[in-house]
């Protein structure tokens, strides 16, 4: 099994984000735009990433009444992002309306629908496996393409949910790396072995002395597995 590394652009300005996109493309092909960066510079960063030929993981974790989330998803689809996140705790109706909005808007634009990925429990929190499984199953049955979860939970979900779905795993660290504020971290190899499809890396690359070399090394772990 192979996986893709996503760089979390957890920086506070368009200039810093542009620096890392220019420096790390095409070693990194997908960049995560979260609440901090999107609040700082809005959709402009999405344009920067798309023009570079890379793809966007829009990690805004939509969580509101169904109509509001559905409209937000439509706007995200128009920006031609690859992945959109929303909180599964928003319930089945919110998820179903978001899924319909994504499919409908992508159809109107004649583009590929982005992946809608549900957040179970944030990796900065401790979590019971049963809670993660319940949320993940509800989200997938309501039409989500996959879930965000830690590597520790990925194998459990693969074993208990038999339908096809995508797993995005944050908190990826190099072997022996610092956990920072993440409670449930994993190495690249551990996450892939557990069944993760997308591996989100932030500070280990952003704060490295040589970000490009670190990105190459972590990407190299995927292919070194020989799967």
| Max CA distance (Å), the chain | 47
Instruction: Yes or no: say if 11 and 197 are a contact pair by the CB < 8 Å rule.
Output: no
Three-state secondary structure call for residue 218: helix
Residues assigned a catalytic role = 61
25, 24, 17: which is closest to 42 by C-alpha?
Answer: 17
Q: Which residues contact 71 (CB under 8 A, 6 or more apart)?
A: 101
Give the pair of three-digit tokens for residue 215: 């990105």
Q: Which residues contact 55 (CB under 8 A, 6 or more apart)?
A: 29, 30, 31, 49, 81, 82
Tell me how far apart the terminal alpha carbons of the chain are, to the nearest angstrom. Answer: 5
Which contiguous run of DSSP H or E holds residue 32?
Answer: strand 30-34
116, 121, 118: which is closest to 182 by C-alpha?
Answer: 121
């Amino acid at each position: 099994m192979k996986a893709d590394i996503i760089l979390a652009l957890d920086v506070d300005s368009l200039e810093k984000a542009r620096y890392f996109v220019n420096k790390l493309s095409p070693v990194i092909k997908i960049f995560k735009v979260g609440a901090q960066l999107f609040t700082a510079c809005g959709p402009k960063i999405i344009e920067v990433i798309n023009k570079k030929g890379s793809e966007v993981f829009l990690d805004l974790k939509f969580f509101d009444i169904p109509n509001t989330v559905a409209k937000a998803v439509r706007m995200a689809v128009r920006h031609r992002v690859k992945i959109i996140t929303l909180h599964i705790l928003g319930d089945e109706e919110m998820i179903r309306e978001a899924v319909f909005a994504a499919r409908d808007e992508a159809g109107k634009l004649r583009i590929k629908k982005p992946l809608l990925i549900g957040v179970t429990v944030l990796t900065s929190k401790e979590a019971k496996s049963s809670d993660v499984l319940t949320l993940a199953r509800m989200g997938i049955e309501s039409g989500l393409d996959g879930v965000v979860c830690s590597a520790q939970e990925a194998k459990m979900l693969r074993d208990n949910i038999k339908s096809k779905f995508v797993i995005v795993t944050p908190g990826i660290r190099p072997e022996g790396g610092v956990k920072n504020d993440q409670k449930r971290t994993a190495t690249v190899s551990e996450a892939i072995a557990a069944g993760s499809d997308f591996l989100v890396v932030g500070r280990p690359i952003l704060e490295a002395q040589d970000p490009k070399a670190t990105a190459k090394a972590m990407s190299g772990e995927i292919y070194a597995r020989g799967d």
